[in-house]
Amino acid sequence: MIGAISRLLAGLSLTLKQPIGTFCDVETTHGDALVTKHSDYLSVIRIEGMRRMATRADVERIALAQRMDLSGALEDPGHAIMGWFISDPDQSAVEIDRLNLHSCRTIARELGLDVSDVLNERAALWPKVMRWEAAYYVLWTRRSVLTKEERKQMGEEQSALAKAGPRAGDSQRYYLRSEVMAARHDAFVLRVEAALKANDIATRGLGAHEALKLVREAVYRETSGSDWKATLMGDRVMPRATEDEARKVDAAPGMLWPAIREQIFHADAETQGGQRVRIGDNDYAPVDMAVGPEDPRPFVELSARLGQDRIPWRGSILIEGGGRSAMLLKSIGATAFSMFPGNADVRRAFEALKQERDDNGHVGVKLRASFATWAPTGDTQKLRRRASTLTQRLEGWGNCKATSISGDPLEGALSSVPALALASTGTPGIALLGDAFAMLPWNRCASPWEQGSVLFTRPDGAIWPYEPAGSSKRPLVCDIFVAPPGSGKSVLANTINLGLCLSTAVLGSRGAKLPLIGKADIGPSAQGFVRLVREALGPEREHEAIFVTMQFRAGYEFNIFDLQVGCTYPLPMEKAFLQNFLSLATMPPGQNTPFEGLSQLIGYVIDEAYRLCTDVPGGSPKPYRAGVEPAVDAALSRHGIVLEHAEPWWRDVVDALIDRQEWRLAEVAQRHAVPTLEDLVVAARGDQVRDIFDGLKISTTSEDAIGLFERYIYDVIKKFPTLNAPTRLDFGPARIIVLDLAAVAPTGSAVNDRQTEMMYLLARHILARNFTLHPDYAEYVPEKVRDYQRSRFQEIMESVKRLDYDEWHRTKGSPQVRDQAALDVREGRKHNLQLGFASQRLSDMGEELVGQSTGRFILKTGDEKECNEVIERFGLSKASADVVRFALQGPGPKGAPFLAVLLAGGAKYEQMLVNFLGPVELWALSTTPGDTALRNRLYAALGFKEALRRLSRVFPRGSAVDEIDRRKNERLKRGELDARAEAGVVDELAAELTDGRGLGIVLRDVAQDNELSRRMMAAE
pLDDT over 70, % of the chain: 91
Read off the pTM: 0.89
Highest mean pLDDT among 158-167, 314-323, 851-860: 851-860
DSSP secondary structure string, 62-100?
HHHHHHHHHHHHHSSTTEEEEEEEEEEGGGHHHHHIIII
pLDDT digits (tens, 9 = 90+) for 90-112: 999 999 999 999 999 999 999 99
Q: Which residues contact 925 (CB under 8 A, 6 or more apart)?
A: 490, 491, 494, 495, 498, 528, 529, 532, 917
Helix (H) or strand (E) holding 258: none
pLDDT band, very low/low/confident/very high, at 10 (cuts 50, 70, 90): very low
Alpha-carbon span 694 to 681, nearest angstrom? 14
pLDDT digits (tens, 9 = 90+) for 121-151: 999 999 999 999 999 999 999 999 999 999 9
pLDDT band, very low/low/confident/very high, at 647 (cuts 50, 70, 90): confident
- Sequence length of the chain is 1020
Q: 506, 525, 502: which is closest to 515 by C-alpha?
A: 506
Q: 917, 985, 982, 923: which is closest to 954 by C-alpha?
A: 923
Q: 140, 76, 91, 69: which is closest to 316 by C-alpha?
A: 140
pLDDT band, very low/low/confident/very high, at 907 (cuts 50, 70, 90): very high
Query: Over 80: is that where the pLDDT of 344 sits?
Result: no
Helix (H) or strand (E) holding 398: none
Query: Over 70: is that where the pLDDT of 361 sits?
Result: no
Residue 319: DSSP 8-state: E
3 state DSSP class of 467: coil
For domain 451-556+732-917, which CATH number applies: 3.40.50.300, 3.90.1150.200, 1.50.10.10, 3.10.180.10? 3.40.50.300
Q: Do β-strands 364-376 and 833-839 pair in parallel, antiparallel, or remain unpaired?
A: unpaired
Residue type, 74: L
Whole-number Cα distances in Å, 723 to 239, 492, 579, 623, 751: 78, 34, 15, 20, 18
3 state DSSP class of 675: coil
Alpha-carbon span 177 to 214, nearest angstrom? 22
pLDDT band, very low/low/confident/very high, at 244 (cuts 50, 70, 90): low
Q: What is the CB neighbour count within 10 angstroms for residue 32? A: 17
pLDDT given at position 732: 86
pLDDT over 90, % of the chain: 76
pLDDT digits (tens, 9 = 90+) for 39-48: 999 999 999 9
Q: Which residues contact 718 (CB under 8 A, 6 or more apart)?
A: none
pLDDT band, very low/low/confident/very high, at 358 (cuts 50, 70, 90): low
pLDDT given at position 2: 41
Alpha-carbon span 211 to 84, nearest angstrom? 13
pLDDT digits (tens, 9 = 90+) for 585-618: 999 998 888 898 999 999 999 999 999 999 888 8
* Residue with the larger pLDDT of the pair 984 and 791: 791
* Residue with the larger pLDDT of the pair 254 and 923: 923
Alpha-carbon span 685 to 694, nearest angstrom? 9
Sign, CA dihedral 584-588-592-596, equals: negative
Alpha-carbon span 566 to 376, nearest angstrom? 68
Residue type, 79: H
Q: What is the CB neighbour count within 10 angstroms for residue 76? A: 15
pLDDT digits (tens, 9 = 90+) for 505-546: 999 878 899 999 999 999 999 999 999 999 999 999 999 999
pLDDT digits (tens, 9 = 90+) for 209-237: 999 999 999 999 999 988 999 999 888 88
Give me the mean pLDDT over the 295-319 stretch.
95
Q: 233, 364, 386: which is closest to 311 by C-alpha?
A: 386
pLDDT digits (tens, 9 = 90+) for 779-802: 999 999 999 999 999 999 999 999
Give me the mean pLDDT over the 862-886 stretch.
94
Three-state SS string across 744-795, please?
A: CCCCCCHHHHHHHHHHHHHHHHHHHCCCCCCHHHHHHCCHHHHHHHHHHHHH
pLDDT digits (tens, 9 = 90+) for 722-759: 999 999 998 989 999 999 999 999 988 899 999 999 99
pLDDT given at position 9: 42
Give me the mean pLDDT over the 652-667 stretch.
96
pLDDT given at position 968: 87
**Sequence spans of domains, the chain:** 2-93+132-438, 451-556+732-917, 570-590+597-632+658-728, 928-1019
Give me the mean pLDDT over the 364-375 stretch.
95
pLDDT given at position 980: 73
- Where does residue 304 rank: exposed (0-12), middle (13-18), buried (19+ CB within 10 A)? middle
- 601-612 burial code (b ≥16 CB/10 A, e <16): bbbbbbbbbbbb
Give me the mean pLDDT over the 443-454 stretch.
94
Residue type, 186: D
pLDDT given at position 333: 47
CB 625 within 8 A of CB 671: no
Whole-number Cα distances in Å, 462 to 444, 459, 652: 10, 7, 63
| 201-205, 334-338, 428-432: least confidently modelled range | 334-338
Residue type, 246: A
pLDDT given at position 12: 45
**Mean confidence (pLDDT) of the chain:** 90
pLDDT digits (tens, 9 = 90+) for 946-955: 999 999 999 9
pLDDT given at position 618: 83
Residue type, 261: R
Q: How many CA atoms lie within 13 A of 575 on its CB side?
A: 18
Give me the mean pLDDT over the 61-73 stretch.
93
Give, in degrees to the nearest 5, the angle at Cα 297 between 296 and 298: 135
Q: What is the CB neighbour count within 10 angstroms for residue 830? A: 12
pLDDT given at position 338: 53
Give, in degrees to the nearest 5, the angle at Cα 300 between 299 and 303: 95
DSSP secondary structure string, 608-670?
HHHHHTSSSTT--PPBP-TTSSHHHHHHHHHTT---SSSS-BHHHHHHHHHHTT-HHHHHHHH
**In terms of DSSP H, where are the helices of 422-550?**
433-438, 489-501, 527-537
Query: Over 90: is that where the pLDDT of 1010 sits?
Result: no
pLDDT band, very low/low/confident/very high, at 207 (cuts 50, 70, 90): very high
